[in-house]
Amino acid sequence: MAIADTAATEAQEAEDTDPPWMWEDTYLQVDVGSGYELFPDVTDYEIRIERNLKANYCFNSSGSLELVSLEPMEYRCTARITANLTTEDHFLDELINQTDVKLKLVMPGSKYIEMTGGKFRTVEPTIKPEDLIALRIDYVAKDFDHNF
């Protein structure tokens, strides 16, 4: 099989000249039922939106399994946030009560990722709020939206 010269047919994408987004250019907002407000004292975060794929196989003519497609399944939307929370943060009460909340990552150029129907986990009710410093919080959402 000969390989054709593809230099003339390749799609050339323009080089991205926008500077990359930096940590200080982004921030998290949280809505605990009264509208979005700045998530207090965030020192680190990671947001993951995973598209789970299901592999579909069939038997080929030689009798072995062959991958024929990858079927999109449900999205899995998670966040891991590290924040310095104190007893004066009303957000801490919402966090411990594990109410449904919305979480929004706001980026330059009015871009955002909004996660909705979420719950916080890893906060145990036996922890005293006055002891929480640099708390790592896991968040799992039911859905997400973005404006890219």
Q: Average pLDDT in the 124-136 region?
A: 59
Alpha helices in the chain (DSSP H): 90-97
pLDDT in tens, 44-74: 899 999 888 899 999 988 989 999 999 888 8
Distances (CA, A) of 131 to 85, 99, 106: 9, 21, 29
What distance in Å separates the CA atoms of residue 127 and residue 96, rounded to the nearest whole number?
9
pTM for this prediction = 0.68
Compute the residue count for the chain: 148
Inter-residue contact 136 to 121 (CB < 8 Å): no
State the pLDDT at residue 114: 95
pLDDT in tens, 3-32: 444 444 455 566 767 777 787 889 999 887
